[in-house]
């Protein structure tokens, strides 16, 4: 991919992912955030965070399925934008929704499972965001870095659980996100099994015997 195409792709991602934030800012000034603006803002930020998180988890499957190389070049950007939205989502919960009522928020974190998993997802995202620079990848070493960033799967799961558990019965949207996550992780599992089989078939003793021994 030429650098011009890559720049255009990244610009498109920036614009698309900042669009929801833009609509919230515009809605604030045009008084167009509905009857319960804080709830609307919280939900919009949370949903955008989840979409970006699943998008970043979707890049490796795109490479696997279509043999493209560009998805890996935008994965970090998508992950950092997801972290940005998670932080805004959390900040609105603290500052606008609860007005810094720390004791009540702490009780909610302990008592309400959907909040517990949401806060856990945020906490787990911090080391990933902090080690997202090329310098940090070098310092950690590729293998360690890749192992650490496998946490993204856990965070994706926690994000979807957070959405499933907060939704009232009868709401179907969270299930679409759960299915999407399952597909994205499923592609990885399929690729992993395929690679393992290939490695086994290439092993010195080869063939069915090696596979059976696994």
Residues that bind other proteins (CB under 8 A): 34-36, 38-39, 96-99, 101, 104, 107-108, 111-112, 114, 165-166, 168-172, 175
Q: Which of 54, 68, 43, 67 shows the shortest CA–CA distance to 182?
A: 54
Give the nearest distance from C-beta 180 to other proteins in angstroms: 15
Give the nearest distance from C-beta 90 to other proteins in angstroms: 17
Which residue intervals of the chain are DSSP H helices?
3-29, 37-66, 70-92, 102-111, 113-130, 134-140, 142-148, 151-166, 173-202, 207-213
Give the nearest distance from C-beta 100 to other proteins in angstroms: 11
Give the nearest distance from C-beta 99 to other proteins in angstroms: 5
Nearer to other proteins, 35 or 143 (CB): 35
**Residue 43 tokens, joined:** 């939900």
Nearer to other proteins, 72 or 109 (CB): 109
Nearer to other proteins, 83 or 163 (CB): 163
Nearer to other proteins, 26 or 107 (CB): 107
Q: Are 180 and 128 in contact (CB under 8 A)?
A: no
Q: Which of 91, 115, 3 shows the shortest CA–CA distance to 41?
A: 91
């Amino acid at each position: 991919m030429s650098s011009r195409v890559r720049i255009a792709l990244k610009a498109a991602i920036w614009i698309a992912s900042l669009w929801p934030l833009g609509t919230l800012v515009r809605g604030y000034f045009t008084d167009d955030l509905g009857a319960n603006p804080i709830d609307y803002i919280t939900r919009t930020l949370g949903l955008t965070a989840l979409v970006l998180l699943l998008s970043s988890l979707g890049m490796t499957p795109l490479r696997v399925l279509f043999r493209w190389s560009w998805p890996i070049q935008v994965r970090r950007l998508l992950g950092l934008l997801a972290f940005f939205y998670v932080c805004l989502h959390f900040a609105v919960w603290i500052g606008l929704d609860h007005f810094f009522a720390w004791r009540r928020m702490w009780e909610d974190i302990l008592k309400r499972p959907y909040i517990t998993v949401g806060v856990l997802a945020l906490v787990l995202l911090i080391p990933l965001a902090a080690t997202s620079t090329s310098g940090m990848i070098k310092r950690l070493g590729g293998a360690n870095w890749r192992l650490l960033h496998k946490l993204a799967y856990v965070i994706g799961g926690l994000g979807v659980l957070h959405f499933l558990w907060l939704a009232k019965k009868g709401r179907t949207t969270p299930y679409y996100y759960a299915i999407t996550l399952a597909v994205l992780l499923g592609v990885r599992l399929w690729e992993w099994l395929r690679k393992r089989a290939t490695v086994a078939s290439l092993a010195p003793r080869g063939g069915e015997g090696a596979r059976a021994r696994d």
